[in-house]
C-alpha cells in the first residue's frame, strides 16, 4: 500500500514504525478506561487538588461515616498526578521534534549551494546531506511519537481519575441518603439503626474500593505496555543519533574537499 511517506527511504521506515506504535498506544484508552483517546490534541486536563467527594458527608451532617469510608480517598489522591508537568514535557518533546524537522530542511537547502560541484567528493557530500536530512526528519517523527505516547499516558490517568471520582461520588450519595434515614431512626432503635447502617455502608465502600482497585490494576498494566512502546521509540532514536554522527563526519570531510577544490574568487569580486 502506498503511503504519504512511501519512497522516502529511511523516513518511510521510521514513519511506519512510529505510526504503528502511536496507533497501539491509542488503543489503551479502550483497554484501560473504556474511552477512545486520540493522540492528536492529547492534553491532560488539570484536576483540582481540593476535589473531595467525602466532604459531602460532613456537609450532610453524617461525618461519623467517614471512619468507615475514608479509605476511598486514597485511590483518588494516587491518581492526581501533575497535569501541568505532563503537558510541559509533551510540549518540550514536540518542540524538539519541530527543531529536527527544521534542521532537515536546512540540510536539503544546503544542497542548492553546491550545484556546480562534481566528482566523487561532491557525490559523497550530497549523499551525506540527503541521508542526514532523512535521519533528522525521522528523528523528529520519532520524538513526535514519543510525545503522543506520553500525552496519551497522562490522559489515561486523568480520565481514570474522573471515573473514580464518579464512582466515589455515586456511592457517597447513596450512603448519605441511607445514613440520614438511619439517623432519623436512631431514637426509635436506640442507635441500632446507625450501627447497622455503618456495617452496610462499610461493605458498600469496600465493594467500590475493590472496583476501583481493578481499574487501577488495568491502568498499571497499560503503563507497562506504554513503557515498552517508549522504549522501542527510544531505541530508534538511539540508532538515528548514531547514524547522524556518522553522516556528520562524512559530510565534514566532503565539505573540506569542496572548500579545497572550489575555484578561488577573482580579485576585486
Which of 49-63, 132-146, 175-189, 254-268 is the least confident region? 254-268
Domain that holds residue 208: 54-259
Q: Name the residue among 146, 17, 18 with its Cα closest to residue 91.
A: 146
Confirm if 149 and 42 have CB atoms less than 8 A apart: no
Reading the block at residue 170, the C-alpha cell is 455515586
Confirm if 132 and 247 have CB atoms less than 8 A apart: yes
pLDDT band at residue 247, thresholds of 50, 70 and 90? low
Report if residue 231 sits inside a domain. yes
Which pLDDT tens digit goes with each residue over 89-138? 889 999 999 999 998 998 888 887 877 788 888 788 788 888 888 999 99
Average pLDDT of the chain is 81
- What is the signed CA dihedral for 263, 264, 267, 269, rounded to 10 degrees? 70
From residue 217, alpha-carbon distances to 33, 64, 107, 160 in Å are 11, 30, 47, 11
Which pLDDT tens digit goes with each residue over 34-69? 988 887 766 676 665 456 788 888 888 788 888 888
From CA 21, how far away is CA 30, in angstroms rounded?
16
Report if residue 26 sits inside a domain. no
Q: What is the pTM of this model?
A: 0.78
98 or 259: which leads in pLDDT: 98
Report if residue 223 sits inside a domain. yes
Report if residue 238 sits inside a domain. yes
Report the pLDDT value the prediction gives residue 216, as an integer from 0 to 100.
95
Question: Structurally, how many domains does the chain consist of?
Answer: 1
Report if residue 187 sits inside a domain. yes
Residue 133: give its domain's CATH number: 1.20.1270
Amino acid at each position: 500500500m502506498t503511503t504519504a511517506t512511501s519512497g522516502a527511504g529511511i523516513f518511510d521506515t521510521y514513519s511506519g514504525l512510529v505510526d504503528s506504535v502511536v496507533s497501539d498506544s491509542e488503543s489503551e484508552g479502550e483497554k484501560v478506561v473504556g474511552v477512545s483517546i486520540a493522540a492528536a490534541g492529547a492534553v491532560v486536563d488539570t484536576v483540582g487538588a481540593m476535589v473531595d467527594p467525602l466532604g459531602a458527608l460532613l456537609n450532610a451532617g453524617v461525618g461519623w461515616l467517614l471512619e468507615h469510608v475514608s479509605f476511598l480517598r486514597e485511590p483518588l489522591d494516587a491518581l492526581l498526578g501533575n497535569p501541568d508537568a505532563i503537558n510541559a514535557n509533551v510540549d518540550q518533546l514536540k518542540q524538539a521534534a519541530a527543531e529536527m524537522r527544521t534542521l532537515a530542511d536546512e540540510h536539503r537547502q544546503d544542497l542548492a549551494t553546491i550545484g556546480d560541484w562534481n566528482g566523487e567528493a561532491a557525490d559523497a557530500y550530497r549523499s551525506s546531506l540527503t541521508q542526514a536530512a532523512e535521519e533528522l526528519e525521522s528523528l523528529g517523527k520519532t520524538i513526535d511519537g514519543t510525545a503522543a505516547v506520553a500525552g496519551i499516558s497522562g490522559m489515561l490517568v486523568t480520565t481514570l481519575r474522573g471515573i473514580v471520582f464518579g464512582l466515589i461520588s455515586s456511592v457517597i450519595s447513596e450512603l448519605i441518603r441511607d445514613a440520614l434515614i438511619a439517623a432519623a431512626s436512631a431514637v426509635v432503635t436506640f442507635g441500632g439503626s446507625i450501627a447497622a447502617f455503618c456495617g452496610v455502608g462499610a461493605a458498600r465502600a469496600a465493594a467500590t474500593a475493590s472496583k476501583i482497585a481493578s481499574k487501577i490494576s488495568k491502568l498499571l498494566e497499560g503503563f507497562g505496555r506504554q513503557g515498552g512502546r517508549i522504549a522501542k521509540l527510544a531505541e530508534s532514536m538511539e540508532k538515528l543519533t548514531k547514524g547522524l554522527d556518522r553522516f556528520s563526519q562524512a559530510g565534514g570531510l566532503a565539505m573540506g574537499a569542496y572548500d579545497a577544490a572550489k575555484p578561488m574568487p577573482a580579485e576585486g569580486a
